[in-house]
Amino acid sequence: MRSIRDKMRSELKDKSIFNKSIEFAYKYMDNIEEQSVYPENSAIENLDIFDEELSDNSTAGIEIIDKLHRFGSPATIAQIGGMYFGFVNGSIIPVALAARWLTDTWDQNAAMYVSSPIASKLEQVAQNWIVDLLKLPEKTVMGLVSGTSTATFIGLVTARNAVLKKKGWNVNEDGLFGAPKIRVIISEGAHGSVFKALALLGIGMGSVERIPTDDQGRILTAKIPELDDTSILILQAGNVNTGAFDDFREIYNRANGAWIHIDGAFGLWVAASSKLKYLTDGIDLADSWSVDGHKTLNTPYDCGIILCKHEDELVSAMQATGSYLKFSEKRDGMLYVAEMSRRARSVDLWASLKFLGKNGVSELVEGFHDLSVELANLLTINNFIILNEIVFNQVLVSCKSSEKNSELLDILQKSGQTWMGDTVWRGQRVIRVSICSWATTKDDINSLVNLFVSARLLLGS
């Protein structure tokens, strides 16, 4: 009987499992427009085939890949196609996917320069490009994490420690028990991940000062209380429902040295557009920012980015020690994030930016906006109600009532031809359309409008 190592050596040399995987991947790409956007019930039911006891003996690699494709591919969300509009999920830039495949084969640990010189180099290059692209202060540093939720958490850990340091308290040495109280000011319309980050930080919701918003979800600047340099103020570049941006420059003039963190999961990239960058005027005045690559930029999942202009504060908050660690004069990426071992996210981020260039990023951003405006106009012509100003890529749609909206959405989701989610806006359950896939075209927008109209006819309203 061959040993498990012999089997792996044989499969590595034979290449058949890799060839089969590539064959299935190509089939998936080629058929994505015909695939149901949300899996059919039969595909979901077939997932029960994976419920089995772990066998005593090895299973042939070709059998595993075949099973994954046969039962897994039909049960996926067709997110890389042009008719998926849910959760602000982007598609994938082809070359970034190819880079991801190559990077996964390298299987690099991007913790330090000595564990992956290439990952370290491309992380530094990508940092330089993003800082320039978003017009952030030159001293801004970047860390790569799984997503904006984690990036926001890291930004707020850094802010908390920096503010407590000003109060004479060293979190790394003294912990948090007995620490002075700090002020956190946040919009009532902040994303749920921000509230989650604060809870993980031990900053209870009862101690957070929530500021009301206007009818688009922008924080009301005049309602922000007097602040000082021992306060943390959290702002938004792109409300998750309306896409609205806070007035960063005006708010900064009232901040009095408070640490400002901007949650810009999908909206921060607007700074790269000559047409829409006015929305991000003043973002360079903040202290830290969180943003996703896998949303607007269309990198593969997972690619979250934390940016901070106070390198010493970030490194201190993400403290990394250990006699076995081999730091260098080069970039050691683990110093800027909570993770130590981590995949080389920098490679597909670099590949995406290299392919797009500044003009390509701008074209993506403006394309999403143009399609959103087109959708809103066409739905309005067809007597649907658009509840938000289309400043970027979010469209809030209403039929009549919350009940009718839910029924309408149910028809759209079950059609298999598109998928989007819903949200509660101003007390009403409404439909939320997020346009952030490079694959979405004007024809897709026309098809989506037709689906809305057909769904309403089925409701008889």
What are the boundaries of each domain within the chain? 4-78, 98-354, 357-459
For the stretch 251-310, pLDDT in tens is 999 999 999 999 999 999 999 999 999 999 999 999 999 999 999 999 999 999 999 999
Burial class (CB in 10 A: 0-12, 13-18, 19+), 2: exposed
User: CA nearest 399: which of 455, 447, 444, 450?
Assistant: 455
So what's the pLDDT on residue 214? 98
- In the chain, the N- to C-terminal Cα span, in Å, equals 69
DSSP character string of 254-267: HHTT-EEEEE-TTT
Burial class (CB in 10 A: 0-12, 13-18, 19+), 87: middle
Pick the CATH number of 98-354 from 3.40.640.10, 1.20.1050.10, 3.40.50.300, 3.30.200.20: 3.40.640.10
Buried b (16+ CB within 10 A) or exposed e, 278-303: ebbebbbbbbbbbbbbbbbbbbbbbb
94, 130, 268, 294, 372 from 300: Cα distances, Å = 9, 17, 18, 6, 23
CA separation for the pair 416, 30 (Å, rounded): 18
So what's the pLDDT on residue 49? 98
Helix/strand/coil for 321: coil
CA separation for the pair 272, 382 (Å, rounded): 33
Phi, psi dihedral angles at 436 (to 5 degrees): -150, 30
CA separation for the pair 187, 268 (Å, rounded): 17
Helix/strand/coil for 123: helix
294, 302, 352 from 347: Cα distances, Å = 13, 12, 9
**Homologous superfamily in CATH for domain 357-459:** Aspartate Aminotransferase, domain 1 (3.90.1150.10)
- How would you classify residue 380: left for phi > 0, otherwise alpha for psi between -120 and 50, otherwise beta? alpha
Q: With a cut of 70, which residues of the chain have pLDDT below it?
A: 1, 461
So what's the pLDDT on residue 1? 67
So what's the pLDDT on residue 300? 97
8 Å CB contact between 255 and 272: no
For the stretch 345-383, pLDDT in tens is 999 999 999 999 999 999 999 999 999 999 999 999 999
User: CA nearest 453: which of 375, 388, 401, 389?
Assistant: 375
Instruction: Provide the percentage of residues in the chain whose pLDDT is more than 90.
Output: 95
168, 335, 357 from 321: Cα distances, Å = 23, 10, 37
CA separation for the pair 452, 395 (Å, rounded): 13
